Structure 1
Amino acid sequence: MAKSDIHPQWYPEAKVYCNGEVVMTVGSTKPELHVDVWSGNHPFYTGTQKIIDTEGRVERFMRKYGMMETKQPSANESKSNQQ
C-alpha cells in the first residue's frame, strides 16, 4: 500500500501547451506542462526531417550494410553489351 502524505498531487487531466496552444492532455504531477517540441511539430514525426550528409557517409553506410539497392542493368542494356 502507498503511504499517505508522501506522494505528490496527481493531475490526471494535465494540459500540455506548445506555443501557447493546448496540444494534448496527459496525467502528470503538474497541472500544466509547457513544451517547445511535441510529436505534432517535430520533423521526424511530420516527415520533414532532412538528413545532412557530409562526404557521402549515409550512402557509404547503406552500401556497406546492403541497405541500398544496387542499380541492375535492364534487359535492353544487357543485350546491347553482348553484341
Structure 2
Amino acid sequence: MIYILLIINFITFIIFGWDKRLSIKHKRRIPESTLLGATFIGGTIGAILSMFIFRHKISKKSFLLKFGAMILVQLFCIYFLQKYRQA
C-alpha cells in the first residue's frame, strides 16, 4: 500500500510541475479537475510539495479553497474508514 501511495504522490508532483511548465510557456494547461483528482486519490503530499517547490497555484484563492476542501474530505474519509475498521 505504501508503494502505491508513493507512486501516486510522485505522479501528482510531476503533473503539478508539468502544469507549471505549461503555464510559463503559455501553452494549454492541465485542467484543475485533473490536478484535484490526482490530489484526491492520494497525491496530497506530492501536490503540496510541488505547490511550494514550483510556487504553483499558491496565489490562486479559488484553487486553494478547492484544495483545502479536498483535504477535508480526505480527512473525513480516513476518520470514518478507521472508525469502520474498529467496529
TM-score, with structure 1 as normaliser: 0.21
Q: Which has the higher contact order (CA 8 A, sep 6+)?
A: 2
Structure richer in strand, relative to its length: 1
TM-score, with structure 2 as normaliser: 0.20
